[in-house]
Amino acid sequence: TLDSDLQQTASDAMGNRRGAVIAMEPDTGKILTMVSQPNFNANTVDEQWAELTSPENTKAQLVNRATQGLYSPGSTFKIVTALEYLHENPDGMSQFHFDCDGLMEQGEYQIRCYHGESHGSQDLRMSFANSCNGAFSTMGLGLNLTQFNSLASQLLFNSSLPLSLPYKESSFVMGEGADEWERLQTSIGQGNTLVSPAHMAMITCAIANNGVLMKPYLIDRVVNNTGDQVDETAPEVYKRLMTKNEAVMLGELMK
């Protein structure tokens, strides 16, 4: 299913940076691009093996960062925070309001927007479009943590993923006893939350597919040495992650 042009484009864009790029077709689950950097040349892996597996090698080229790398999700997690806020506040799309001066203060804690930018008067749509940390931290303080954990589980945090490749489970650990600082940080994708790029791709694909996650796959079809097709992967529904209405609302925010 990989598109060689997309692979090359993603690889070129990554350059020498460490990280991953993954893209999926939302309505089928086809993985179109999966790049992990630094990588290695599979044609010379025998000659490179000692170097690749050396304890002194800190590049970890054998780790597929797209599925095995766990990262703080950062502002991509605002998708989840927004969805939980809308769960608890059905009129939140029209009623949420936050005045951003670039710095949100809660007791002894401070949350700054990127470069301290002041976004001014924000509704939910503009808060999302501007990725306003102050607005989302404010949302996070008011969320029900039991329900937030339930949503995280619904979105496959702390659970298995429908992947045939080796992967690491994402982690959402904010419990009932979380203090204000953990709430503030977690709501903007910091704190103790860890997620793989593949997992975030699945969540966004479910949004694009009216809430339904298709099972990701890499093998489109198999042909024999004479070119005859002997097997083909049929797209398969894995799970509904959210309602159609929720997916439509999040899709509008993302656009």
What does the block give as tokens for 94? 């029209």
pLDDT bucket at 196, cuts 50 / 70 / 90: very high
> In terms of DSSP bridges, do strands 221-223 and 212-214 run parallel, antiparallel, or are they unpaired?
unpaired
Number of DSSP helices (H) and strands (E) in the chain, helices first: 11, 10
* Pair 191, 71: CB distance under 8 Å: no
**What pLDDT does 115 receive?**
85
pLDDT bucket at 240, cuts 50 / 70 / 90: very high
Helix (H) or strand (E) holding 208: helix 197-208
Q: What are phi and psi of 195, to 5 degrees?
A: -150, 150
Q: Which of 234, 205, 206, 207 has its CA nearest to residue 221? A: 234
Checking if the pLDDT of 30 tops 90, the result is yes
* Pair 24, 67: CB distance under 8 Å: no
pTM (predicted TM-score)? 0.92
Checking if the pLDDT of 59 tops 90, the result is no
pLDDT bucket at 187, cuts 50 / 70 / 90: very high
The contacts of residue 43 (CB under 8 Å, 6+ apart) are none
What does the block give as tokens for 5? 């042009």
* Pair 30, 220: CB distance under 8 Å: yes
pLDDT bucket at 211, cuts 50 / 70 / 90: very high
* Pair 48, 27: CB distance under 8 Å: no
| Cα–Cα distance, 66 to 83 (Å, whole number) | 24
Q: CB-side exposure of 202: number of CA atoms within 13 Å?
A: 27
Cα dihedral 239, 245, 246, 252 sign: positive
Checking if the pLDDT of 78 tops 90, the result is yes
Q: What is the DSSP string of 123-192?
A: -HHHHHHTT-HHHHHHHHHTS-HHHHHHHHHHTTTTS--S-SS-----B----TT--HHHHHHHHTT-TT
Helix (H) or strand (E) holding 252: helix 244-254
Cα dihedral 36, 38, 41, 45 sign: negative
